[in-house]
Structures are given as C-alpha cells and as structure tokens.
C-alpha cells in the first residue's frame, strides 16, 4: 500500500529529522506524522477515490477525536493544522514550522526511488497505465522539489529529485524506442 504503515513510518522519521534540524516542536511533528494519513487507513476516507483535500481534512478531524482524551486543545489544534495542510493538493497552506515540516516529509517520501515505487504501487492498485503514471510524474512528482518549505528538506530533495528525473526520462525513452 502506497499510504500504508511503512509510508507513515518513513514520513515520521523524515519529519523528526527535519524537526531536529529546523528547531521545531518535535512532539507536535511526531504525533502529526503518525496520524497524517489516518483517514486513508481508518476506512473513513477512501484514499483511492476521495480527493487529497478530503483525506487531509477528514484526517485532521479523526486526529482530534483520537487526541481529545490525552492532549490539550492547543496541542490538538496544532496537530490538526499539520494534518490538514500536509497534502499536495489540500488547498490548506502550512502556516507553522511544524506543518511545513510534515508537508515536506510527506513530499520527500513521494520522491526518489521510494517515490517511484509508491507511484507504481498506486498505479497497480488503481489500474493506472504506464503512460498515465508518466503524466503523474509531470503533473506532481517532478514539481515537488519546488514546493518544499524548509532548507533541510530542500537539501534532502536534491538527490531524490535527480532519481525521479532519471527514471522518468529513461522510461519515456524506452516507451518511444520502437
């Protein structure tokens, strides 16, 4: 699953690394990363059919219900903002450093070799063709590096973006060979 537990764990590790380098509140970042795709995983939002905006906004509401018993309102609101604004196309801009970090970590996991693998895992789940996957590279994946918010994420993205470009070009070349 391209949005499964392994994705959440990678995003959490990336987010924690970036938070430490950028001086963010590590607990907010950690909890937001752990819950950022909760709507996709809980079955309350079908990640294959609903828009990214819906999964991010629904995830923020689900996170509130999960956190309400053990956290104060201010903490919950900060986590909710991180989750609501993490998605590429949610329409909610990350306003806090912690939200920017979660957004960056999620984008970084869509880049590099892992990003290529996830793109084709998603293609397999949805029946998307190779040609449609190339369009996904053009429309989203190859643009992610320009959407990053933190210096740390931009540094990490350099090699990952190169891998995306190399793979995209090679696949495009092979598809047009004969």
The pLDDT tens digits along the chain (178 residues) read 656 688 999 999 999 999 999 999 999 999 999 999 888 876 544 444 444 447 888 888 998 899 989 999 999 999 999 999 998 667 889 999 999 999 999 999 999 999 999 999 999 999 999 999 999 999 999 999 999 999 999 999 999 999 999 999 999 999 998 8
Please state the domain extents for the chain: 5-175
The domain made up of 5-175 has a fold known as: Hypothetical protein af1432 (1.10.3210)
Contacts 24+ apart (CB under 8 A), 57-64: 57/84, 57/90, 57/92, 59/35, 59/83, 59/84, 60/84, 62/35, 62/38, 63/32, 63/35, 63/38
Helix (H, G, I), strand (E, B) or coil at 149: coil
């Amino acid at each position: 699953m391209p949005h499964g537990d392994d994705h959440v764990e990678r995003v959490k590790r990336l987010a924690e690394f970036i938070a430490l380098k950028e001086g963010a509140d590590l607990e907010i970042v950690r909890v937001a990363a752990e819950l950022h795709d909760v709507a996709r995983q809980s079955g309350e939002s079908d990640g294959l059919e609903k828009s990214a905006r819906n999964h991010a906004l629904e995830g923020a509401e689900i996170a509130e219900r999960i956190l309400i018993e053990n956290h104060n309102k201010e903490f919950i609101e900060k986590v909710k903002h991180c989750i609501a604004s993490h998605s590429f196309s949610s329409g909610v801009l990350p306003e806090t450093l912690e939200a920017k970090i979660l957004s960056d970590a999620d984008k970084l996991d869509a880049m590099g070799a892992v990003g290529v693998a996830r793109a084709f895992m998603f293609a397999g789940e949805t029946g998307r063709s190779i040609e449609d996957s190339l369009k996904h590279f053009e429309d989203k994946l190859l643009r992610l590096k320009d959407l990053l918010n933190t210096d740390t994420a931009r540094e990490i993205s350099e090699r990952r973006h190169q891998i995306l470009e190399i793979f995209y070009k090679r696949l495009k070349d092979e598809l047009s060979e004969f």
